Chain A
Amino acid sequence: MIVAVARRIALSLLTLVLLAIFVFVATEIMPGDALDVTLSADELAMIPPERLAQMKRELGLDRPAAERLVAFLAGTVQLDFGLTIISRTPAADIIAYPLRNSVLLAGAVLAAAIPLALALGVAAAYRYRRALDNAVSAGAIIGYSVPEFVIATVLVILFAVLWPLFPATITAATRDPAHVLLAAAPLPVATVLIGSIAYLARILRVGMIEALASDFVERLRLTGVPEWRVLLLHALPAGVIPSLTAMALYAASLVSGIVVVELVFAYPGLGQELVRAVTRREVHVIQAIALSSAVVVVGLNLVADLAILLLDPRTRR
């Protein structure tokens, strides 16, 4: 058991290190260095070569790539992602609060999505190929087929324009306390929630269908064990366990969805920072955002893996 847990944690750390290397390579080595990427071709042409060389020295870009990679990894471990090139502020400071705000949003979505998806998935599986299942399945397809930004804009038109229950954009500031942000965020949460429920309910439905078709369910029914026990005590854990891995994979999509809705609603999270950084070509901020969201995703995957270890005795050897 301890070996299995240690193995999972070690694998997660390894994945993170590889991710950090990947992020560095993708942004700093392949097409040019941070400065080339940050400055447009026009700007590069305007700067005299001596000045450019001096800037590169200041940023440490004249050192070999391997050396810079080590420095980058060392900095990352200490949460030092470097200074932004234009405003010279630490990238870590820029993303700290937006990261908190995005995690807040994700947490609110998951807290509502998981129980609802569980209920829908189990109900649909139990009524396999009947009216309820058909409705849930079709609804789920629609739910994850409609892009988040479409759901978001339609919700704005419905609940902020036609029937102004909520503000169309969020007025809360980046450093407001959590409850203020959440109180202002029902529409963003609702937007991501629709896709999340659709996706998760679909996974859970398949897991439950498999579980309900298993031999042990048949044995229990042939023994006359009450149906609620069959469903809740036997089939439910067996349906959820194999779904956990697929559910954890959803974490990455969740982050993508959150980035989109943050933009629509001007929610002060990572999404806003990301688009700002991309348009200003602030490499260090993009790196910091990529790594911090990777930590969240890898962390959620680790939680899923550990939950499987906890729930499935077959994995504990």
Chain B
Amino acid sequence: MAQPDIEPLVRCQGLSVAYADLDGGLTRVVSDASFTIGAGEAIGIVGESGSGKSTLARALLGYRRAGSSFVSGSLTCAGQDLLRPSPRTLAALRGIEIAMVPQNPLASLTYHIRVGRLVEEVLRTRAGLDRRAARARMLELLDRTGLPEPKAIAERYPHQLSGGQRQRVVIAAALACNPRLLVLDEPTTALDKTTEAQVLALIESLRREREAALVLVTHDLNAVARACQRVLVMKDSRIVEDGPVDQVFGRSRVAYTRALLGSALSLDAPPPRRAQRGEPLLDVAALGFSYERGGMLTRAPSGRPTLDAIDLTVGRGEIVGVIGESGSGKTTLGHIVAGMIAPCRGAIRFDGRPLAGHVAARSSEERRRIQMVFQDPLSSLNPRMTVGGSLVRPMRVFLGLGRAQSRERATALLSQLGMGEEYLRRFPRQLSGGQQQRVAIARAFAAEPDLLICDEITSALDASIQAQVLDHLLGLQSRSAAAMLVITHDLSVIWKLAPRVVVLQAGRIVEAGETSEVFQRPRNAYTAALLEAATRARRLKSGAATGHADSRVEDALVPIGAD
């Protein structure tokens, strides 16, 4: 373990970074940040989007985005000034002493150049190798980062690789010159949980092998719990907490950190007890969906995840969760039940009667009884329509209510969601994300549905607001006794809402059952991986996990590159 207090590699004192407005004012994205990074130390920087963590990470390479400037403070790496660096300092540091693994590996790899060449370029221009040496070293690096058949991979273009493979290529390029500090910006956001575990394990083993320091920027506390020793928590451009991971996660005194942790899944809390399964309301049998490719002259539709042999029943007033990662087909399932796309195979029965596939073929009553809430709160409300207008429309279409009546009900709905009458006249842009999502929920309940489909309704919200929105949703649900199909990748949402859950992987249901049963004793390996990744931070708190050096990390190295 490193000794950060002897000779810090990076010393940052009172750093502020700001963007200039057109009006000449300054908006600070990093305020008064002070910290050090010791040689070989692994530090996590966590915070919600917009907290300034990415800007801080870039500052470590003496880099600022166009329009921003270093306002005050000092930042040095190995004694070199990073805020006002000479071109020669930068040339000596970037890519050589300090390397960055950027957030989005697909966009970060030049799409018209083969990945092997991209890695070779760094070796030739930065490590000074000749063509032949660069090629040999490139293959070595690809091999070391766990890519199968490096020779074949090197000849591919970025879009031809899987997400995990791209991430490995980007890591290989960053490691080209054996940097003393490796900065990773959200390295696992684009990956599924199985691949994420492998990439984190890879980073961890590379760090120890090369004795490099590591900065992991992420919103995922579980990733930090897995890979880091120390953690900085950022909120609204400031560092609000700085300390060893087990201390910060275990007994934080900062309310914000506790809120972040609160959104992480804890299986300690009692499982939800809600309405038992009544008579079936929605019955999905042997449902299948696949996209046939377009013909010669028609545009081929973009690939949508396929579904196969889906059986699912939702009882009256019951809440059923659907878990899966992006690409698992969970959103497609929601869209099919809602009637946005028709299934290719299988049948849907609603309240005992067969339900037409496409919404246009369903009766108005069926449309009213099945409502949907979408993921992105801003885009789910018409920006040109007031909140009142958005809420009144379904009442007029479905319930035939008059102007005064529907206005009254809209006011009542809003007040149940903790929002006053004055919001009726506001436009979506004038609301916060949480308020927007509450309005979207109110709009769905305005139709007095029997089944509500919630598609990732909290994913776009900050952790601190998610719980509040879910509480409001539960409040309305219990009053109206509507059944819900809760679709999410977030296990804590399921734990909180749904007594019963199905797990979707690659278009198939791999596990189904009582949520408490599935979460505490998963029978499927994929479910277990999801749970492992989601509970790490909390298990640190309860003392069940022991930080980064976990034997399971080494085990996870085995299937590397198989993504």
Q: CB within 8 Å of B: which residues of A?
A: 7, 10-11, 14, 128, 214-216, 218-226, 229, 233-234, 237-238, 241, 311-314
A11 to B297 Cα, complex, angstroms: 7
Flag if B111 contacts A216 (CB, 8 Å). yes
Flag if B100 contacts A223 (CB, 8 Å). yes
Given A238-B112, A313-B157, A314-B157, 15 more contacts at CB 8 Å?
Answer: A128-B66, A215-B104, A216-B107, A216-B110, A219-B100, A219-B102, A219-B108, A222-B94, A223-B100, A224-B90, A224-B91, A224-B95, A224-B96, A225-B121, A238-B111
Which partner residue on chain A sits nearest B94 by CB separation? A224
Residues 244-282 of B at the A interface (beta carbon under 8 Å): none
A128 to B66 Cα, complex, angstroms: 10
Interface residues on B, range: 20 to 34
Would you give the shortest CB distance from A305 to chain B, in whole angstroms? 14
Flag if B170 contacts A219 (CB, 8 Å). yes
CB neighbours of B110 from chain A (8 A): 216, 220, 234, 238
Flag if B102 contacts A14 (CB, 8 Å). no
A7 to B296 Cα, complex, angstroms: 7
A313 to B110 Cα, complex, angstroms: 11
Known: A215-B104, A238-B110, A312-B111. A223 touches B159 (CB 8 A): no
CB neighbours of A218 from chain B (8 A): 63, 102, 108
Flag if B103 contacts A223 (CB, 8 Å). no
Known: A215-B108, A216-B111, A222-B61. A313 touches B159 (CB 8 A): yes
Would you give the shortest CB distance from B215 to chain A, in whole angstroms? 13
A150 to B1 Cα, complex, angstroms: 76
Q: How many A-B residue pairs have CB under 8 A?
A: 81
CB neighbours of A311 from chain B (8 A): 112
Q: CB within 8 Å of A: which residues of B?
A: 58, 61, 63, 66, 90-91, 93-96, 99-100, 102-104, 107-113, 121-122, 125-126, 157, 159-160, 170, 173-174, 296-297
Would you give the shortest CB distance from A237 to chain B, in whole angstroms? 5
Flag if B112 contacts A223 (CB, 8 Å). no
CB neighbours of A223 from chain B (8 A): 94-95, 99-100, 122, 126, 173-174
Which partner residue on chain B sits nearest A211 by CB separation? B110
A221 to B91 Cα, complex, angstroms: 10
A223 to B99 Cα, complex, angstroms: 6
A222 to B61 Cα, complex, angstroms: 7
Flag if B112 contacts A241 (CB, 8 Å). yes
25 A–B contacts from the bound complex (CB under 8 Å): A10-B296, A215-B107, A215-B108, A216-B110, A218-B63, A219-B102, A219-B108, A219-B173, A222-B61, A222-B63, A223-B122, A223-B173, A224-B91, A224-B95, A224-B96, A225-B122, A225-B125, A234-B110, A234-B113, A238-B111, A311-B112, A312-B112, A313-B112, A313-B160, A314-B157
Which partner residue on chain B sits nearest A129 by CB separation? B66
Which partner residue on chain A sits nearest B183 by CB separation? A222
